[in-house]
Amino acid sequence: MKILIINCSPVRNGATAEIANIVNESVSAGNDVRSVCIDDYSISLCKGCRACHKTAECFQKDDVTKLMDQYEWADRIVSIAPSYWADVPGQFKVFIDRCTPWCNTHEPHAKLSAGKKAYTIALRTGPSMPECERIISTIEHFHGHLEIESSGKLCLTSVEYREDVAARAEEIRKFCEEIVKD
């Protein structure tokens, strides 16, 4: 199985990255795994011109297609997103906006191969679960428009620093069992 792990945070060495490391270790046996960070890609803001509604591609030439090539490669996609003001980080939201050419709400649209499954992990500093659920909702909504099946989610509250992840490591590993089981 080909598994893509995406750190939706621009921070390459924080709590989100530590969770990505645990996921990578947990799913790598017998699988082909790639890990990327949203900050690995240069993505321009959507101009809202809707030209992609007619052409199924964006006129801007940046790294969106490179990241979408990773999505195409994968059978399973694991998105790990921290809370930035109760939603996904802006860098990841910009990527979502730029995926309009792949959005199934207009024709023509670009398409990913069928049969992909997605898993989402949301984390936040405070104890409020609704904020994590909002992050997951954003990512699952995005996956739905790409016709990727949302197959699992994990909410981690009270995680601010990389060191806070150790107390949740077993919970993350258990969640990863679902990813490789499917």
28 pLDDT tier (thresholds 50, 70, 90)? very high
Sheet hosting strand 32-37, strand order edge to edge:
32-37, 2-7, 76-82, 117-123, 149-156
128 pLDDT tier (thresholds 50, 70, 90)? confident
Question: What is the reported pTM?
Answer: 0.96
Average pLDDT score over the chain: 96
Residues 6+ apart with CB under 8 A from 65: none
- pLDDT attached to residue 182: 67
- pLDDT attached to residue 148: 98
Alpha helical stretches, state H, 1-104: 15-27, 52-55, 64-73, 90-98
Q: Mean pLDDT over residues 66-78, rounded? A: 98
Q: Mean pLDDT over residues 41-67, rounded? A: 96
Is residue 127 predicted with pLDDT exceeding 90?
yes
Q: Mean pLDDT over residues 19-24, rounded? A: 98
